[in-house]
Amino acid sequence: MLCVGIGFMPVAALVDYKLTMSLPPRTTADTGIDALTHAMEAYVSKKANAYSDSQAIAAIKLIGPNLRKVYNNGGDEKAREAMMLGSTLAGVAFSSASVALVHGMSRPIGAFFHVPHGLSNAMLLPSVTAFSISAAPARYADCARAMGIATDLDNNDEANQKLLIELRALNDELAVPTPQEFGIKRDEFFEVCHTMAEQALASGSPGNNPIEPSINEIITIYQGLWD
């Protein structure tokens, strides 16, 4: 349930990376991957535009090289500052272009199993990217280049393969658990997959995805988290 209304709109926002210096590694990882997901989904969204593109790519360029740094060394001020700015730019980007399938599928996992939002995004990001990449290969390749894991010498297919490898490696290094490792029981998860898929579609976010999935395709992605 989202809380909306003019009362939630701040007059001003003070964005100060120093307030993040004491974040523990788990929260650093989860919020960092959430910010990366915001930027990537804004960039590949069907609602993407020139304004949101500029913010999304700038965010990815900041987050990509610095997420591991702040996870492994929370006292790295330059990396913390880069992540804070990247997160803010990613927020601007998705406020304009919206988010897509990762967020649509992530929210029901949080609702049913109390998985922190950024963590459920992280669980899904590699699989949803693999599902979606064929419909927006140039866009995802741009993300890989912005992260610094591919160059202009890589064609789109090469860049996208590097992107998928990087997203999985990022989850490994940042100790992102699978649903099973988080403590979710397989039978309970599979029992609600259809309901979660319905709720994901009802949120509207999957409609912004490069490929708009069917309920069965969403269920397949959910169940694939256990393979």
For domain 24-224, the question of CATH label 1.20.1090.10 is answered with yes
Residue spans of the domains in the chain: they are: 24-224
- What is the predicted pLDDT for the residue at 1? 61
**Which ranges of the chain have pLDDT less than 50?**
none
63: helix, strand or coil: helix
Give the predicted TM-score (pTM) of the model: 0.95
pLDDT at 8: 87
Can you give the pLDDT at residue 203?
Answer: 93
Q: Is 5 left (phi over 0), alpha (psi -120 to 50) or beta?
A: left
